[in-house]
Amino acid sequence: MKKLFALLSAFTFVLTSCSSDDSNDAASGQLLTKLVETYENGDVETVTFQYSGNKILKRTSDYAFRDETIFTYTGDLITKEEYFFDDDAGYSFYEVINYEYDATNRLIKSSRTATSLAEEDVFTYNSNGTISFTTTSTISSPSTIVATGVIYLNGDQPYKKEITFDPGTAMENNAVEEGTFDDKINPFMNITGYSKMAIACPTYNYSLEGTVNNYLTYKRDNVLWDSSTYTYNSNNMPLTETYTDVEGNGDENSTLQYFYN
């Protein structure tokens, strides 16, 4: 499944979303409970979501023997995300992401650990409204800076990332990621604390995640990689989605159905 928690200028960029949009002010309070994705090869994946009130507890997929994400809160902030995968055929994977916030509940650090991997992202909030980040590999000592960058926002919605990989080395290279969004309500908008994580793991999560509105297109270095179109329910939340892997980057084209409480 294309990453849902995760699917986060050199040219003219048109952005239709805004965090103060009237449609968002009228959010119904609905929570996404199930997502059914049908791939072009005919495979079908069902993802379910469990909550306590408006706090997300677990995301579970039926696509493997075990494929689930468990969320931990401190107050109203998500402070840990644990991902478990087991294909029951000899391959398993476990990943943990920890989140830290400042006194005003802004994300200031995301730390990701998995087998043979440990990275942390530190965020700095700039006076011009952008967010700078530094990604450091901490798997060995001394630690190594693997990327730096800047995130641009429109209201609460990240829409652009400028990333420098391997800064100061012979392998230094740059990338610009940009997203466009609709003006409707994102399925995860009503989850307590969810939008706070939108900028987390900025070098690991390609694309730009919708937190207020819904992702339409993703460009990398001015090349269109992915696009989505939607139909909506009466509450202006996605009912169906048609996803297209334009650039052929390994995500199968698919259609998705959204179900709410």
Can you name the residues that pair with 56 across neighbouring β-strands? 51
Please, what sign has the CA dihedral across residues 47, 184, 105, 9? positive
Mean pLDDT of 138-164: 94
Q: What is the pLDDT of residue 205?
A: 87
Per-residue confidence band for 156, with pLDDT thresholds at 50, 70 and 90:
confident
- Beta strand spans in 75-206 (E): 77-86, 92-101, 107-114, 117-125, 131-137, 144-154, 157-165, 173-181
Q: Which residues contact 142 (CB under 8 A, 6 or more apart)?
A: none
Judged by DSSP in three states, 166 sits in coil
Predicted confidence band at 129 (pLDDT cuts at 50, 70, 90)? very high
Mean of pLDDT over the chain:
88
User: Which of 62-66, 112-116, 129-133 shows the lowest per-residue confidence on average (mean pLDDT)?
Assistant: 62-66
Beta carbons within 10 angstroms of residue 78's beta carbon? 23
pLDDT tens-digit series, residues 74-93: 999 999 999 999 989 888 99
Distance in angstroms (rounded) separating the CA atoms of residues 201 and 6: 9
3-state secondary structure of 45: strand
Q: What mean pLDDT do residues 167-183 have? A: 96
Give the separation between CA 18 and CA 183, rounded to whole angstroms: 7
pLDDT surpasses 80 at 8? no
Preceding omega of 142 cis (within 30 degrees of 0)? yes
* Residue 28 pLDDT: 63
249 Rama class: left (phi>0) / alpha (psi -120 to 50) / beta: alpha
The token pair that represents 114 in the structure block: 């998995």
Residue closest to 147 by CA, chosen among 180, 130, 122, 184: 122
- Cα(166)–Cα(196) distance, rounded to whole angstroms? 27
- 193-236 pLDDT, tens digit each: 999 999 999 999 877 777 789 999 999 999 999 999 999 999 99
- Taking the C-alpha atoms of residue 81 and residue 112, their distance in angstroms, rounded to an integer, is 9
With 80 as the cut, is the pLDDT of residue 10 above it? Answer: no
Tokens coding 145: 């800076």
